[in-house]
Amino acid sequence: MSEAANDSTSETQMKSYFENYILVDVGANLTNRKFNRDLESVVARAKDSGVQKIIVSSTSIKGSREALRLSRIYPGTLYATAGVHPHEAKSWSDESLAELRDIASNIECVAIGECGLDYNKNFSPPEIQRLVFKQQVELACELRKPLCIHERDAHEDMLAILEEHKDSLPPLVLSSYSGSCAQAQKYLQMGMYLGLTGYISKDNSENGVQALLEGGDLSLDRLLIQTDSPFMYPNARASKLPERVKEALTERSLSFLQRYCTFQRNEPCSLPTIVEMIAAFLRRTPEDIALTTSFNALKVFGLS
Protein backbone atom coordinates (compact mmCIF):
# COMPACT_ATOMS: atom_id res chain seq x y z
CA MET A 1 0.00 0.00 0.00
CA SER A 2 1.35 3.45 -0.90
CA GLU A 3 2.24 6.08 1.70
CA ALA A 4 -0.65 8.23 0.45
CA ALA A 5 -3.06 5.33 0.87
CA ASN A 6 -1.76 4.73 4.39
CA ASP A 7 -2.29 8.39 5.23
CA SER A 8 -5.83 8.22 3.82
CA THR A 9 -6.63 5.11 5.90
CA SER A 10 -5.23 6.73 9.03
CA GLU A 11 -7.30 9.87 8.41
CA THR A 12 -10.44 7.79 7.89
CA GLN A 13 -9.86 5.91 11.14
CA MET A 14 -9.39 9.16 13.05
CA LYS A 15 -12.61 10.58 11.60
CA SER A 16 -14.44 7.41 12.61
CA TYR A 17 -13.11 7.70 16.14
CA PHE A 18 -13.73 11.42 16.58
CA GLU A 19 -16.96 11.83 14.65
CA ASN A 20 -18.83 8.54 14.80
CA TYR A 21 -18.64 7.94 18.54
CA ILE A 22 -20.17 9.90 21.38
CA LEU A 23 -17.38 10.38 23.90
CA VAL A 24 -18.67 11.04 27.42
CA ASP A 25 -16.61 12.86 30.04
CA VAL A 26 -18.11 11.56 33.29
CA GLY A 27 -16.42 14.13 35.50
CA ALA A 28 -15.38 17.71 34.74
CA ASN A 29 -15.33 20.55 37.27
CA LEU A 30 -16.78 23.15 34.93
CA THR A 31 -18.05 25.26 37.84
CA ASN A 32 -14.42 25.95 38.73
CA ARG A 33 -13.56 29.65 38.45
CA LYS A 34 -10.92 28.83 35.82
CA PHE A 35 -13.79 28.39 33.37
CA ASN A 36 -15.71 31.54 34.30
CA ARG A 37 -14.67 33.59 31.28
CA ASP A 38 -14.85 31.17 28.37
CA LEU A 39 -17.06 28.22 29.22
CA GLU A 40 -18.91 28.48 25.91
CA SER A 41 -15.62 28.06 24.02
CA VAL A 42 -14.59 25.18 26.32
CA VAL A 43 -17.83 23.32 25.55
CA ALA A 44 -17.48 24.03 21.81
CA ARG A 45 -13.90 22.70 21.80
CA ALA A 46 -15.04 19.59 23.63
CA LYS A 47 -17.62 18.90 20.93
CA ASP A 48 -15.08 19.53 18.19
CA SER A 49 -12.79 16.94 19.79
CA GLY A 50 -15.58 14.34 19.90
CA VAL A 51 -16.78 14.84 23.48
CA GLN A 52 -20.52 15.21 23.10
CA LYS A 53 -21.65 14.85 26.72
CA ILE A 54 -20.07 16.08 29.94
CA ILE A 55 -21.13 15.39 33.51
CA VAL A 56 -20.39 18.44 35.64
CA SER A 57 -19.00 17.35 39.02
CA SER A 58 -20.12 19.14 42.17
CA THR A 59 -18.26 19.52 45.44
CA SER A 60 -20.55 21.77 47.50
CA ILE A 61 -24.16 22.88 47.80
CA LYS A 62 -23.33 26.10 45.96
CA GLY A 63 -21.47 24.17 43.27
CA SER A 64 -24.38 21.76 42.90
CA ARG A 65 -26.75 24.64 42.21
CA GLU A 66 -24.33 26.05 39.66
CA ALA A 67 -23.93 22.66 37.96
CA LEU A 68 -27.72 22.44 37.67
CA ARG A 69 -27.82 25.94 36.16
CA LEU A 70 -25.18 25.02 33.58
CA SER A 71 -27.03 21.84 32.64
CA ARG A 72 -30.05 23.99 31.75
CA ILE A 73 -27.97 26.35 29.63
CA TYR A 74 -26.47 23.42 27.67
CA PRO A 75 -29.27 20.81 27.64
CA GLY A 76 -28.28 17.44 26.25
CA THR A 77 -24.60 18.33 26.53
CA LEU A 78 -23.98 19.14 30.18
CA TYR A 79 -25.49 17.14 33.03
CA ALA A 80 -25.27 17.94 36.73
CA THR A 81 -24.33 16.04 39.84
CA ALA A 82 -25.25 17.16 43.35
CA GLY A 83 -22.93 16.47 46.23
CA VAL A 84 -20.56 17.62 48.95
CA HIS A 85 -16.93 16.57 48.60
CA PRO A 86 -15.08 15.31 51.70
CA HIS A 87 -12.90 18.43 51.59
CA GLU A 88 -16.10 20.46 52.04
CA ALA A 89 -17.77 18.16 54.59
CA LYS A 90 -16.99 20.62 57.38
CA SER A 91 -19.48 23.04 55.77
CA TRP A 92 -22.38 20.56 56.17
CA SER A 93 -25.29 21.96 58.16
CA ASP A 94 -28.71 20.80 59.37
CA GLU A 95 -30.21 22.15 56.14
CA SER A 96 -27.70 20.61 53.75
CA LEU A 97 -29.42 17.28 53.19
CA ALA A 98 -32.75 18.90 52.30
CA GLU A 99 -31.01 21.37 49.98
CA LEU A 100 -29.11 18.58 48.27
CA ARG A 101 -32.27 16.50 47.86
CA ASP A 102 -34.05 19.46 46.26
CA ILE A 103 -31.24 19.94 43.71
CA ALA A 104 -30.79 16.24 43.04
CA SER A 105 -34.49 15.68 42.39
CA ASN A 106 -34.29 17.64 39.13
CA ILE A 107 -34.14 15.62 35.93
CA GLU A 108 -30.96 17.38 34.79
CA CYS A 109 -29.14 16.02 37.86
CA VAL A 110 -27.98 12.51 37.00
CA ALA A 111 -25.98 11.53 40.09
CA ILE A 112 -25.19 12.19 43.73
CA GLY A 113 -21.63 13.34 44.34
CA GLU A 114 -18.81 13.87 44.26
CA CYS A 115 -18.76 12.67 47.86
CA GLY A 116 -16.69 10.27 49.90
CA LEU A 117 -13.64 10.13 52.16
CA ASP A 118 -10.21 11.72 51.88
CA TYR A 119 -7.81 10.99 54.74
CA ASN A 120 -4.82 12.20 52.74
CA LYS A 121 -5.63 15.89 53.10
CA ASN A 122 -8.12 15.80 55.99
CA PHE A 123 -9.42 19.25 55.11
CA SER A 124 -12.49 18.10 57.08
CA PRO A 125 -12.26 15.94 60.22
CA PRO A 126 -12.59 12.21 59.37
CA GLU A 127 -15.59 11.73 61.65
CA ILE A 128 -17.42 14.57 59.88
CA GLN A 129 -16.46 13.12 56.50
CA ARG A 130 -17.98 9.77 57.43
CA LEU A 131 -21.20 11.34 58.71
CA VAL A 132 -21.66 13.47 55.58
CA PHE A 133 -20.78 10.62 53.24
CA LYS A 134 -23.28 8.26 54.90
CA GLN A 135 -26.08 10.78 54.45
CA GLN A 136 -25.27 11.15 50.76
CA VAL A 137 -25.12 7.39 50.29
CA GLU A 138 -28.59 7.18 51.82
CA LEU A 139 -29.81 9.98 49.54
CA ALA A 140 -28.52 8.14 46.46
CA CYS A 141 -30.30 5.00 47.64
CA GLU A 142 -33.51 6.99 48.21
CA LEU A 143 -33.46 8.74 44.82
CA ARG A 144 -32.02 5.73 42.96
CA LYS A 145 -29.38 7.88 41.30
CA PRO A 146 -25.76 6.79 40.73
CA LEU A 147 -23.25 7.67 43.43
CA CYS A 148 -19.99 9.36 42.35
CA ILE A 149 -17.36 8.63 44.97
CA HIS A 150 -14.03 10.21 45.90
CA GLU A 151 -11.68 8.07 48.00
CA ARG A 152 -8.10 8.66 49.04
CA ASP A 153 -6.28 6.79 51.81
CA ALA A 154 -9.66 5.71 53.20
CA HIS A 155 -10.20 2.36 51.48
CA GLU A 156 -11.32 0.29 54.47
CA ASP A 157 -13.69 2.89 55.89
CA MET A 158 -15.16 3.41 52.43
CA LEU A 159 -15.86 -0.30 52.04
CA ALA A 160 -17.38 -0.48 55.52
CA ILE A 161 -19.85 2.35 54.88
CA LEU A 162 -20.89 0.96 51.50
CA GLU A 163 -21.26 -2.51 53.01
CA GLU A 164 -23.83 -1.11 55.46
CA HIS A 165 -26.04 -0.18 52.48
CA LYS A 166 -25.19 -3.07 50.14
CA ASP A 167 -28.79 -4.20 49.70
CA SER A 168 -30.00 -0.85 48.35
CA LEU A 169 -27.01 0.73 46.60
CA PRO A 170 -27.45 2.37 43.17
CA PRO A 171 -24.65 2.17 40.56
CA LEU A 172 -21.32 3.26 42.07
CA VAL A 173 -18.66 5.25 40.22
CA LEU A 174 -15.24 5.70 41.79
CA SER A 175 -14.10 8.99 40.32
CA SER A 176 -10.53 9.76 39.25
CA TYR A 177 -9.21 6.41 40.42
CA SER A 178 -5.67 6.60 41.78
CA GLY A 179 -5.49 3.62 44.13
CA SER A 180 -3.74 0.28 43.93
CA CYS A 181 -4.51 -2.82 41.86
CA ALA A 182 -5.55 -4.70 45.00
CA GLN A 183 -7.94 -1.95 46.07
CA ALA A 184 -9.36 -1.75 42.56
CA GLN A 185 -10.18 -5.45 42.64
CA LYS A 186 -12.15 -5.02 45.88
CA TYR A 187 -14.09 -2.13 44.40
CA LEU A 188 -14.73 -4.04 41.18
CA GLN A 189 -15.99 -7.01 43.19
CA MET A 190 -18.60 -4.65 44.64
CA GLY A 191 -19.72 -3.86 41.09
CA MET A 192 -18.19 -0.38 40.95
CA TYR A 193 -17.21 1.47 37.82
CA LEU A 194 -13.75 3.05 37.80
CA GLY A 195 -13.29 6.51 36.28
CA LEU A 196 -9.81 6.94 34.80
CA THR A 197 -8.20 10.30 34.09
CA GLY A 198 -4.91 11.73 32.89
CA TYR A 199 -3.46 10.42 36.16
CA ILE A 200 -2.55 7.31 34.18
CA SER A 201 0.33 9.30 32.68
CA LYS A 202 1.83 9.72 36.17
CA ASP A 203 1.41 6.46 38.07
CA ASN A 204 3.79 3.72 36.86
CA SER A 205 4.34 2.22 40.30
CA GLU A 206 4.41 -1.56 40.63
CA ASN A 207 0.86 -1.65 41.97
CA GLY A 208 -0.56 1.54 40.42
CA VAL A 209 -3.04 2.47 37.73
CA GLN A 210 -0.73 1.67 34.80
CA ALA A 211 -0.15 -1.77 36.32
CA LEU A 212 -3.91 -2.22 36.65
CA LEU A 213 -4.31 -1.59 32.92
CA GLU A 214 -1.26 -3.61 31.90
CA GLY A 215 -2.41 -6.57 34.00
CA GLY A 216 -5.66 -6.90 32.08
CA ASP A 217 -7.72 -7.19 35.26
CA LEU A 218 -9.96 -4.21 34.53
CA SER A 219 -12.94 -5.37 32.52
CA LEU A 220 -14.06 -2.87 29.90
CA ASP A 221 -17.64 -3.09 31.11
CA ARG A 222 -16.51 -1.41 34.36
CA LEU A 223 -14.50 1.39 32.75
CA LEU A 224 -15.46 5.05 32.52
CA ILE A 225 -13.34 8.00 31.36
CA GLN A 226 -13.13 11.54 32.65
CA THR A 227 -10.87 14.56 32.47
CA ASP A 228 -11.48 15.93 35.98
CA SER A 229 -10.92 19.33 34.36
CA PRO A 230 -9.27 21.67 35.22
CA PHE A 231 -7.13 19.07 37.00
CA MET A 232 -5.44 15.79 35.99
CA TYR A 233 -3.75 17.01 32.80
CA PRO A 234 -2.80 13.93 30.69
CA ASN A 235 0.89 14.62 30.09
CA ALA A 236 1.70 13.10 26.71
CA ARG A 237 5.42 13.72 27.32
CA ALA A 238 5.55 12.28 30.85
CA SER A 239 8.69 10.29 31.61
CA LYS A 240 6.54 7.69 33.38
CA LEU A 241 4.51 7.04 30.23
CA PRO A 242 5.79 4.06 28.21
CA GLU A 243 7.15 4.90 24.77
CA ARG A 244 4.69 2.59 23.05
CA VAL A 245 1.83 4.56 24.61
CA LYS A 246 3.32 7.89 23.51
CA GLU A 247 3.73 6.54 19.99
CA ALA A 248 0.05 5.49 19.88
CA LEU A 249 -1.21 9.04 20.38
CA THR A 250 -2.61 10.57 17.21
CA GLU A 251 -1.86 13.98 15.82
CA ARG A 252 -5.47 15.08 16.06
CA SER A 253 -5.94 14.25 19.74
CA LEU A 254 -2.60 15.86 20.57
CA SER A 255 -3.57 18.99 18.66
CA PHE A 256 -6.43 19.63 21.09
CA LEU A 257 -4.33 18.73 24.11
CA GLN A 258 -1.36 20.88 23.18
CA ARG A 259 -3.31 23.85 21.89
CA TYR A 260 -5.95 24.24 24.58
CA CYS A 261 -4.84 22.36 27.71
CA THR A 262 -2.08 23.03 30.23
CA PHE A 263 -1.00 21.74 33.64
CA GLN A 264 -2.76 24.78 35.08
CA ARG A 265 -6.04 24.21 33.21
CA ASN A 266 -7.04 20.93 31.68
CA GLU A 267 -10.17 20.85 29.48
CA PRO A 268 -12.70 18.20 28.38
CA CYS A 269 -11.18 18.31 24.86
CA SER A 270 -8.25 16.30 26.28
CA LEU A 271 -10.51 13.25 26.65
CA PRO A 272 -9.50 11.71 23.28
CA THR A 273 -5.88 11.64 24.46
CA ILE A 274 -6.95 9.74 27.57
CA VAL A 275 -8.90 7.32 25.37
CA GLU A 276 -5.81 6.69 23.26
CA MET A 277 -3.58 6.20 26.29
CA ILE A 278 -5.96 3.64 27.78
CA ALA A 279 -6.29 1.89 24.43
CA ALA A 280 -2.51 1.58 24.13
CA PHE A 281 -2.15 0.18 27.65
CA LEU A 282 -4.92 -2.36 27.02
CA ARG A 283 -3.68 -3.13 23.48
CA ARG A 284 -7.11 -2.29 22.12
CA THR A 285 -8.18 0.23 19.51
CA PRO A 286 -9.32 3.73 20.51
CA GLU A 287 -12.62 2.89 18.81
CA ASP A 288 -13.11 0.00 21.28
CA ILE A 289 -12.47 2.21 24.29
CA ALA A 290 -14.61 5.07 22.95
CA LEU A 291 -17.57 2.83 22.16
CA THR A 292 -17.46 0.80 25.38
CA THR A 293 -16.95 3.69 27.79
CA SER A 294 -19.66 5.73 26.11
CA PHE A 295 -22.08 2.81 26.32
CA ASN A 296 -21.20 2.38 30.00
CA ALA A 297 -21.76 6.09 30.71
CA LEU A 298 -25.07 6.25 28.88
CA LYS A 299 -26.27 3.20 30.79
CA VAL A 300 -25.05 4.20 34.26
CA PHE A 301 -26.25 7.80 34.14
CA GLY A 302 -29.34 7.28 31.99
CA LEU A 303 -28.20 9.75 29.34
CA SER A 304 -29.93 10.09 26.00
Residue 9's pLDDT is what?
Answer: 43
pLDDT tens digits, residue range 150-171? 999 999 999 999 999 999 999 9
Residue 15's pLDDT is what?
Answer: 53
Residue 204's pLDDT is what?
Answer: 79
Residue 256's pLDDT is what?
Answer: 96
Spans of all domains in the chain: 24-301
Residue 46's pLDDT is what?
Answer: 97
For the chain, residues with pLDDT lower than 70 are: 1-21
- Any binding-site annotation on 150? yes
What CATH number does domain 24-301 carry, 3.40.640.10, 3.20.20.140, 3.40.190.10, 3.40.605.10?
Answer: 3.20.20.140
- Any binding-site annotation on 287? no
pLDDT tens digits, residue range 221-260? 999 999 999 999 999 999 999 999 999 999 999 999 999 9
Residue 3's pLDDT is what?
Answer: 43
- Any binding-site annotation on 85? no
Residue 217's pLDDT is what?
Answer: 80
Q: What is the reported pTM?
A: 0.93
- In sequence order, the 6+-apart residues with CB closer than 8 A to the CB of 46 are 25, 54, 267, 268, 269, 271
